[in-house]
Amino acid sequence: MLLPRLPGDPGEVRSGADHVCETAALILQCAETLARLVDGDAGTSRGLDTAVARGRVVIPRLQQAAERYQVAGAALVDFAAEQEAAIQAADLAILRHERAGEELAALLEDQAGVRALAYHGGMKATERRDNQSAFMDGEVDVMVATTAFGMGIDKADVRYVIHYDVPESMDAYYQEMGRAGRDGAPALALLLWRPEDLGLRRFFAGGGEVGTDELERVAALTSAAGRPVDSGELAETAGVTPHRLELALSRLEDAGAVDVSAQGEVTAEADGPQPAEAAREAADRQDSRRQVEQSRLDMMRAYAEARSCRRRFVLTYFGEPAPRRCGNCDVCERQAGDEAGDEAGAEGEGAAAWPEQSRVVHPEWGEGLVLRRDGDTIAVLFDDAGYRTLSADLVADQGLLKPAP
């Protein structure tokens, strides 16, 4: 497994990493665009907390790496065994599925010889508290946990954050890997991934959708009532489950057709669209939301497969300029002194025509912000279509981008 190793001396600075310590002030425009695309409100976007709008700091000297694996559990065990001498402080392995936590913790203890515990919502509260205390007190080497663990925990000396499952977006991944190295000493964020996991993510990104007929039925019943309707009564009349009704009402609220009170009463908006029009509008917005979610997952895959600097990828994803190389990730290490690596990250003529952080217009996707130019590709965050990676040659040949007015 080709991975960077942490320096043995916390005071040692890896060559080329001096510039890693500067603050990355995230572009407010990116945060607002994503928030509006995902949830329609700049303050409530999933994966984007209010810290994004205020600006965040990239963890100093945080190394980044990604490794594709085939056999479940083997990659994590191999890494732990390789790093056994270094895994002496608290480390965190993050996964998305509760059922795998205890299995992986046992596997790490049996095959890698490290002390490991699990943490997830399916455990008894007392067991979660005991395991958390053991982690905070340094009594275990590795905590195998779901993402709920660590959000409110301030432990500065986590040396490794290892993702065993692919996060749903770079927004989530950035937030989670930031749990490593808060003390300023060297730390590593490692993403272990499989192509099939990305396929599952894409499948679930398309879930939670409501059909046009269902949307129109809920809108029509609400309108016909002529009064506030209890959501439980509405679900029964519409013949849908409470969960499906919640989804439908969320989409119809986006379309300006209904209002849902804090008490769960549903009222048709007096000046809102007719039920059929509201259903079409809600379905269109739902489709746009799905495309944005999938574009964010596409960016997660691009990060996993990156052939150029990972730190640059993260910073430019959020609209922040970054040097072409950080010297502190697995890609930069592989490409150190490698002319092929320089060529892979070099800008083609087509890409060079579109400066990073410039506003552009696409004939189908509208206005957007150029985030990154790498080789012969251009990554753009479009205001209404999410993230797109374009071929610079196609952009030049077909005139797909123009400067925004």
Domain ranges for the chain, please list them. 1-18+60-193+306-345, 23-57, 212-286, 347-405
Stated as kind and residue range, the H or E segment containing 104 is helix 101-107
pLDDT above 90 as % of the chain = 31
Q: Does CATH number 2.40.10 belong to domain 347-405?
A: yes
Q: How far is CA 366 from CA 19, 52, 92, 351, in A?
A: 35, 24, 41, 19
Overall size of the chain counted in residues: 405
| CB neighbour class for 319 (10 Å; exposed up to 12, middle 13-18, buried from 19) | buried
Q: Specify the higher pLDDT residue, 11 or 331.
A: 331
**CATH 1.10.357.20 is right for the domain spanning 1-18+60-193+306-345:** no
Measured distance CA(43)–CA(59) in Å, rounded: 24
pLDDT tier, 232 (very low <50, low <70, confident <90, very high otherwise): very high
Gyration radius of the chain over CA positions: 24
- CA 105/CA 267 separation, integer angstroms: 50
Any idea which of 162-176, 312-326, 335-349 has the lowest mean pLDDT?
A: 335-349
Each residue's pLDDT tens digit, 48-68: 332 332 344 455 578 999 988
Confidence band (pLDDT; 50, 70, 90) for 13? very low
pLDDT value at residue 32: 37
Average pLDDT, the chain: 77
Model pLDDT for residues 96-122, shown as the tens digit of each residue: 666 678 888 888 888 777 888 988 888
Residues 115, 139: Cα–Cα separation, whole Å:
8
pLDDT of residue 95: 67
Q: What is the pLDDT of residue 179?
A: 84
Using CA atoms, how far apart are residues 185 and 320, in angstroms rounded to an integer? 23
**CATH number of the structural domain 212-286:** 1.10.10.10
Q: For residue 78, what pLDDT is reported?
A: 66
The predicted structure's pLDDT at residue 35:
41
pLDDT in tens, 181-201: 888 888 889 898 888 777 666
The pLDDT confidence band at residue 267, using thresholds 50, 70 and 90, is very high
- The predicted structure's pLDDT at residue 185: 85
3-state secondary structure of 83: coil
Lowest mean pLDDT: which of 90-94, 143-147, 194-198, 363-367? 90-94
> Per-residue pLDDT for 224 more than 50?
yes
